Amino acid sequence: MKINRLILPVFLMVQVVSAKPPSLEPKVKRPNIVIILADDMGYSDMGMFGSEIKTPNMDALATAGTRFTNYYTHASCSPSRAMLLSGVDPHHNGLGNMDEWTAPNQIGKDGYEGHLNDKVATIPELLKETGYHTYMVGKWHLGKSPEKIPAARGFERDFSLLDGMGSYWDMTNMTAKVPNSLFTEDGKYLTKLPKNYYATETYTDKLIKFIDEGKSDGKPFFAYVAHQAPHDPYHLPKDWRDRHVGKYDTGWDHQRVERLKKQKQLGIAPESATLAERMWFVPEYSLLAPAAKAVIGRKMELYAGLVENLDFHIGRLVEHLKKIGEYENTIFIVFGDNGAEGNDLGAMIAGNPGTRDFLFFAAKWSNNHPNAWGEPGSYVGYGPGWAQVSMTPFSQYKGWLGEGGIRNALIVSGPVNKRARGGINNGLMSIADIMPTLLEVSGATYPKEHNGHKLPPLIGKSWTQVLAGEAESPRSKQDYLAWELFGNRALIQGEWKLRWEIKPFGKSDWELFNLASDPAELNDLASTQSKKVQELVSLWDKYVRDYKVILPSRSPFEGLFDVLPPRFPVTIGYPPLSSKEQYVPPKNLMTTPKK
């Protein structure tokens, strides 16, 4: 007989005469859980992780909780979200590759369905079964048909963008064959958006409404707040666009130095930390012409405004929970889903001039005078130079397996956190850990089977001992994390990282880095540490076998080697020719030509 956990004490009272009456049994109120997921927000974009961007509400959660500096997601949107909700490796949960980039040799293969498959259970499914309300607002990106949408995967209430990106103002999508974004509300597909829709604000309004309408029964709630911000295109209200005019005229080189300096002051980075090499195809900012600086700086101004607007609406949610008396009993988990976006997604999606999608993009996304940026129909992202600022001090950015593609800032606060308020932890953490952690704190369990399917094992480790202050990491030095996406691959064990990336971002061969001494991945030790390379390659081969990894026959980055300039080391001030100023002789030696 299946017995609901919530009625178990009453059942035992009836069966066992010596049991205490229900009125004498202590009642422990289970915590609410709020996951705040920012889309493409970089490691250093929050104030408490080194940013000059004003994020007082996220900073307040950091001050009340713990900051984690060694936390890993996946390198792109949907694989990260699938890992988060299932606790299972992407090659088992259906997102072995993004649906948009599935390679020809992966089509139709198990683990490469391009959506969250039915062979896994989700956090909301398991928490709902144990008496939690389950709410979602924001970006889904894990399937669109009725059996794949949030309502079918455990969410009791939802207001969700099913696509991976799109307008913040309306339903405009990115390609000619998919011109309109799809939204659902409480399991139904929307024909139009609410009046005065703006993504970040509307998501917050809807979640507050869900919480208020469900609170009368006293159940705890799980809320997955999957914000679209600050993913491009950078759409934001007019009063948020001009809060940083001229602030970024000093450029990305200067801003990276300033963020690293602040990270050292905060204790986020050690005093020995250095900046990763600036991407070789990104120019030294001081060499840009004034007009170029003005336009490029404007992009970062908008990004900063978008992050601040996101923080404002996070603050609205926190204040509402305080107002209704739920804040103190709410766990907050805050992070970005992958590295900051340095790729030109607009160009990748639009393709070549004269093609169908290029013409669609020109028609729908052409409101692109800098004065119109932020408006409906505008498309702007900030590019690789600013993405490296967002990922200070690390190398690379979203889509790649350098630290800048997969390492994220993490905040955990609320009743589960028993560590010193405002503290910092450097333990090795993974996005896959969230499932086992939340099952433990909620009193739920991970079943062997679910909906007629035998479930794959969870790959994460619970954080409860770390959050209780009883351990510094959920992992031993023998445990490892592994990634594969778009043909790029990486493995971390202890302080060592093995990395293989497509040229020219990598060497199309294994590289080895010691993250304890070199988190910026400046020094490839593969040639001097061949034994360590062999050890880690053996673990990688085991990962491939265990998770049935199919390396793709095609990659979205396959043409970069021919498009980008040759790769040479980047040294500030080299060549000196470009930074030498006009020599001015002494005045007493100046003269005019003789007749």
**What does the DSSP assignment read for 261-323?**
HHHHHHTSS-TT--PPPPPTTSPPGGGS-HHHHHHHHHHHHHHHHHHHHHHHHHHHHHHHHHH
CA torsion sign, 151 to 156 to 160 to 163?
A: negative
> What average pLDDT does range 185-206 have in this prediction?
98
pLDDT in tens, 535-585: 999 999 999 999 999 999 999 998 898 899 999 999 888 888 888 889 999
pLDDT band with cut points at 50, 70 and 90 for residue 5: very low
Residue ranges of the domains in the chain?
28-474
HSE-up of residue 538 (Cα within 13 Å, Cβ side): 6
Q: What CATH number belongs to 28-474?
A: 3.40.720.10
pLDDT score, position 2: 40
Q: Reduced to 3 DSSP states, what percent helix, strand and coil does the chain have, rounded to the nearest 5?
A: 35, 15, 50
pLDDT score, position 450: 92
pLDDT band with cut points at 50, 70 and 90 for residue 10: very low
Selected catalytic residue, list 77, 91, 133, 231: 77
Distance CA 384, CA 518 (A): 21
Selected catalytic residue, list 115, 133, 141, 244: 141
313 is catalytic: no
pLDDT in tens, 493-518: 999 999 999 999 999 999 999 999 99
pLDDT band with cut points at 50, 70 and 90 for residue 435: very high
User: C-alpha distances in angstroms, 317 versus 201, 411, 507?
Assistant: 10, 16, 45
HSE-up of residue 151 (Cα within 13 Å, Cβ side): 15
pLDDT band with cut points at 50, 70 and 90 for residue 16: very low
> What average pLDDT does range 375-381 have in this prediction?
97
Q: Residue 409: which of 334, 481, 460 has the closest Cα?
A: 334
244 is catalytic: no
- Residue 497's contacts (CB-CB under 8 Å, 6 or more residues apart) are 403, 490, 491, 512, 513, 514, 515, 521
Asked whether the beta carbons of 41 and 340 are under 8 A apart, the reply is: yes
Asked whether the beta carbons of 139 and 78 are under 8 A apart, the reply is: no
Residue 26 in this model has a pLDDT that exceeds 80: no
C-alpha 307 chain-centroid distance: 13
DSSP-assigned letters across all residues of 538-591: HHHHHHHHHHT----S--TTTTHHHHSPPP----TT-SGGGTPPPP---GGG--
Distance CA 158, CA 135 (A): 6
Q: Residue 364: which of 350, 344, 345 has the closest Cα?
A: 350
Which alpha helices (DSSP H) does 56-98 contain, by range? 56-64, 77-86, 90-93
Pairing between β-strand 32-38 and β-strand 221-226 as defined by DSSP bridges? parallel
Q: Residue 366: which of 356, 351, 379 has the closest Cα?
A: 379
- Max distance between CA atoms of the chain, in angstroms, equals 123
pLDDT in tens, 301-359: 999 999 999 999 999 999 999 999 999 999 999 999 999 999 999 999 999 999 999 99
| Residue 136 CB neighbours (<10 A) | 30
Asked whether the beta carbons of 438 and 416 are under 8 A apart, the reply is: no
Task: Calculate what percentage of the chain has a pLDDT beyond 70.
Answer: 95
Beta strands of 187-255 (E only): which ranges?
188-189, 221-226
Tell me the pLDDT of the chain averaged across its residues: 94
pLDDT score, position 9: 37
pLDDT in tens, 518-533: 999 999 999 999 999 9
